[in-house]
Amino acid sequence: MSDRITVFKGDGIGPEITDAVLRILDAAGAGLEYEIFNVGEAEYEANGALIPDEAFESFEKTRVLLKSPITTPVGKGFRSLNVMMRKKYDLYANIRPAKSNAAVKTPFENVDIVIFRENTEDLYAGVEELVDKDTAHSIKIITRKCSERIIRDAFEYAVQHGRKKVTCVHKANIMKISDGMFRDIFYEISKDYPQIESDDKIVDNVAMQLVMHPQKFDVMVMPNLYGDVLSDLTSGLIGGLGLLPSSNLGSGYAMFEAVHGSAPDIAGKGIANPTALLWSACMMLEHMGKMDCAARIRRAVDQVLNEGTATTPDIGGTAGTEDYTAAVISKL
Ligand code: ATP
């Protein structure tokens, strides 16, 4: 029997990379049925809703969402759709693995970092006010509940995946109360995992060390904003945004998406790299227990990247999305 999943086709390069990924999933025999919805700016222009009600209903039924990048219209009073989805479904754990691929040359080798980014609070809580015309406040919120669950997930992941170390990233020297609490909770929870090494580092120091000695880092856990910034940095270490997948997990719902945005500068040109969304789909298959199928797709991608003849321009190749997709399918 097929498993049903919900698919959001977004804006910019979203539809192109979604089509590529669904074709690869079918060719790999993933055994999935799709409930596909157009969402985002283009859908708003066409039908007046950024995300149609049926799309929400579908996700509430299937509980698994493969989401391509969506653009939130600027200047029309909308909150970020990405932030809204994470909050609405309490998708508190944003997991972003960045692993070097020998075929993609960068100045850095053997990077294998998994960032656990808290996804629901910190400066993303949306608590902002204009105090007077020259003064704006934005409130940073850190709670015990949200800190505990993301930190525990990071340690659990380390145990389950045979990782050695979890690093807590913070700025507790300045934000002594909020980030201080995050760090204290980290060390409380670390006591339950004596087999995993634990340490903490200040975020600016981490930014420097990541580009000098990225191999020193393993699993990392941090509040929302640091996770946003540092995971773009780790994508740069492995060859760019076209290669960074993510999962957003929590409360019985799971959403899988590329870390990159809708890349309007290359939309419709047929050169977008679907790998980040494809690897997100592999994380989705693993979440659904379809380990063999995920492994088969990962092997096919590795072969295509290693051969280097059908890769997209963002990672130094000359092929288009279509050629890359066909090449991956031919290896399955
Ligand atoms: P957002 O604010 O929505 O995260 P952004 O402004 O950070 O988006 P992206 O859309 O992520 O920007 O794109 C940043 C750069 O990376 C752009 O130049 C874009 O063309 C490139 N890029 C992003 N994703 C891909 C991809 N899948 N394939 C090729 N290039 C990409």
How far apart, in Å, are the Cα atoms of 4 and each of 1, 22, 171, 254, 277? 10, 13, 42, 13, 18
Q: What is the pLDDT of residue 77?
A: 67
Write out pLDDT tens, residues 199-238.
Answer: 999 999 999 999 999 999 999 999 999 999 999 999 999 9
Whether 55 shows a pLDDT value over 70: the answer reads yes
Could you identify the atom of ligand 1 that is nearest to the CA of residue 69?
3
Domains plus CATH for the chain?
A: 1-95+239-332 (3.40.718.10), 107-238 (3.40.718.10)
pTM of the entire predicted model: 0.90
Average pLDDT of the residues in 23-50? 94
Say yes or no: CB of residue 319 within 6 Å of ligand 1.
no
C-alpha 276, offset from chain centre: 9
What is the percent of the chain where pLDDT is above 90?
A: 86
pLDDT at position 117: 97
CB 266 less than 6 A from any atom of ligand 1: yes
pLDDT at 241: 85
Decide: 311 in ligand 1 pocket, CB within 6 A: no
Ligand 1 pocket test, pick from 260, 271, 273, 278 with the greatest ligand atom count within 8 Å of Cβ, gives 260
Atom of ligand 1 nearest to the CA of 232: 7
Residue whose CA lies nearest to ligand 1 atom number 1: 261
Atom 9, ligand 1: which residue's CA is nearest?
261
Q: Are 238 and 98 in contact (CB under 8 A)?
A: yes
pLDDT computed for residue 292 by the predictor: 97
In the prediction, which pLDDT does 20 show?
A: 98
* Sheet containing 3-9: order of strands: 32-38, 3-9, 64-67, 253-258, 245-250, 93-99, 112-118, 219-222, 165-170, 197-202
Catalytic residue selected from 122, 179, 200, 228: 228
Q: Is the pLDDT of residue 242 over 60?
A: yes
Instruction: Name the band, by pLDDT with cuts 50, 70 and 90, for residue 76.
Output: low
Active-site option among 9, 171, 201, 290: 171
Q: How far apart are CA 93 and CA 88, in angstroms?
A: 13
Is residue 174 very low, low, confident or very high in pLDDT (cuts 50, 70, 90)? very high
Q: What is the pLDDT of residues 258-317, one digit of tens each?
A: 989 999 999 999 999 999 999 999 999 999 999 999 999 999 999 999 999 999 999 999
Phi-psi region of 233 (alpha: psi -120 to 50; beta: other; left: phi over 0): alpha
Annotation says 124 is catalytic: yes
For residue 66, the CA-to-ligand 1 centroid distance in Å is: 18
Cα–Cα distances in angstroms (integers) from residue 106 to residues 102, 236, 296, in the given order: 9, 9, 25
Q: 250 alpha carbon to ligand 1 midpoint, in Å?
A: 26
- Work out the average pLDDT over 316-322: 95
Ligand 1 mutation pick, 16, 68, 241, 321, max ligand atoms within 8 A of CB: 241
Quick check: is 228 catalytic? yes
Atom 25 of ligand 1: nearest residue by CA position: 242
Alpha carbon distance 269, 247 (integer Å): 27
Cβ(254)–Cβ(66) under 8 Å? no
What is the structure's pLDDT at 75?
A: 66
CA of 82 to the centre of ligand 1 (A): 15
Please compute the mean of the pLDDT values over residues 148-163 and round it to a whole number: 97
> Taking the alpha carbons of 301, 307, 312, 316 in that order, is the dihedral positive or negative?
positive
Does the active-site annotation cover 265? no
